[in-house]
Amino acid sequence: MARVSPSTSYTPSRHKRSYEDDEDMDLQPNKQKDQHPGARQAGSVSGLQWCGEPKRLETEASTGQQLNSLNLSSPFDLNFPLPGEKGPACLVKVYEDWDCFKVNDVLELYGVLSVDPVLSILNNDERDASALLDPMECTDTAEEQRVHSPPASLVPRIHVILAQKLQHINPLLPACLNKEESRTFVSSFMSELSPVRAELLGFLTHALLGDSLAAEYLILHLISTVYTRRDVLPLGKFTVNLSGCPRNSTFTEHLYRIIQHLVPASFRLQMTIENMNHLKFIPHKDYAANRLVSGLLQLPDNTSLVIDETLLEQGQLDTPGVHNVTALSNLITWQKVDYDFSYHQMEFPCNINVLITSEGRSLLPADCQVHLQPQLIPPNMEEHMSSLLTAVLPSVLNKFRVYLTLLRFLDYSISDEVTKAVEDDFVEMRKNDPQSITADDLHQLLVVARFLSLSAGQTTLSRERWLRAKQLESSRRNRLQQQKCVNGNEL
């Protein structure tokens, strides 16, 4: 299933619903006979903007009959991927080029909205006829009808006239950054990039309780993106584990609120034993209803997933919990989600920014661990974070949002001259410390240097940025080593 165009609001409750309610296109042909010849039903779609309550007209009685005929003993399952999600959903019918939509694509749709109650009435004559041939066929068809023909007042239909995949979902930027008319906007913003970065660094430093090093790495994390894949290895991912977060504090919750105000799509996963054991992370195929049942990791590209590990306490992970931890590890390491089709698993690539907040070192893999060193402990965390958001001007906040989205799309390269200098520098580092410096360290340095350059608006690596990347990595490693010596164990 494909997503409808998201809301342009940055209000946290609305932007979360509009940006994150993501569901996938049915991967199996739909057995249901379509109400409109030649149309293909793409599936349930969330994220449609809706003003006020659904209009019932004179269909309330007929809608009640439909619910009775469907034998719904519980509220209808709208198949939202995220737990506790509320809001409108719709069924999108695509008449051409339906096979060009990919799982978790975010689409902008133009079409005809239909709430005709006839769309949700089961064809009893057809079911009776099929029952004479095969009782099992009748059962399957009824279940499919129940799922694929929900009440139109609850799940309206959109008959698509035009659909286009969105390059991004930030309403503050032109829809397509590659077009000629967008270059003026890009060049204008790039001219004022330096002060925007400085202000953002100060803003995040305050949010991270005065830790400027952690703020630097958070900026690099927020602009990171998978730019290509080499075999199975995703290049450009930069998962950060922010350790040293205060336990039994609202710090991580308020830090997520800050991030939520900066990025178009985000979700906070509270990593408790109960959630890990009971939440459904992986989408799976329901063959009886002939649909894909959504899972929590069914997220659109460039979603910021904040995993709060500070809530994790001692307890027993059961089999689903172990599978969920494995799914998170695969997402972080390989940027893929394995959808469950009962008889086999199918890999779907993704591009999700994962930030892990934890007290000690995370049990999940991470590309980079940064130990938080607060320079101040506010007596009232909520008041501190709220005043931070109140103090920043809306125009400045919008610049932060443009900055974090735009830099993801910049090209980047390393000249032959700088490549040679980096190689020579790495050889020297190996000579000075052969036990500690490995090829993985070189890869980490190159990733940090890449996003450090892009964060300054530079599309090529300079000697200055390479030295700055080495300095940041040295400070980060020294901090971890100091913490290890203090605690006597690995963080």
| pLDDT of 261 higher than 90 | yes
Q: Is 145 helix (H, G, I), strand (E, B) or coil?
A: helix
> What 3-state DSSP class applies to 174?
coil
| Cβ atoms of residues 298 and 338 within 8 Å | no
What is residue 67's predicted lDDT score, i.e. its pLDDT?
A: 33
CA 47 to chain centre: 14
User: Percent of the chain, pLDDT > 90?
Assistant: 60
Q: Where are the domains of the chain?
A: 12-165, 180-409
Beta bridge partners of 307: 269, 356
| CB-based contacts of 220, cutoff 8 Å, min separation 6 | 238, 240, 448, 451, 452, 455
* Range 60-84 average pLDDT: 54
Name the nearest CA neighbour of 106 among 10, 5, 192: 5
Question: Average pLDDT of 272-277?
Answer: 96
Would you give the end-to-end CA distance of the chain in angstroms? 41
Question: How wide is the angle at C-alpha 53 spanned by C-alphas 13 and 40, nearest 5°?
Answer: 90
Look at the block and give the residue holding tokens 């830790």: 211
d(C-alpha 217, C-alpha 447), whole Å: 11
Q: How confident is the model at residue 181 (pLDDT cuts 50, 70, 90)?
A: confident
CATH 3.40.50.300 fits 180-409, yes or no: yes
For the segment 144-159, what is each residue's pLDDT rounded down to a tens digit?
777 878 888 888 999 9
How far apart CA 406 and CA 320 sit, in angstroms, is 38
Which tens digit of pLDDT belongs to each residue from 327-357?
Answer: 999 999 999 999 999 999 999 999 999 999 9
298 Cα distance to chain centroid: 8
Answer yes or no: is pLDDT of 12 > 60.
Answer: no
Structure pTM? Answer: 0.81
Rg (CA), the chain: 25
Does 208 score more than 50 pLDDT?
yes
Residue 26 DSSP class = P
Q: Cα–Cα distance between 277 and 325 in angstroms, integer?
A: 10
C-alpha dihedral sign at 428, 429, 434, 437: negative
The pLDDT of residue 235 is 96
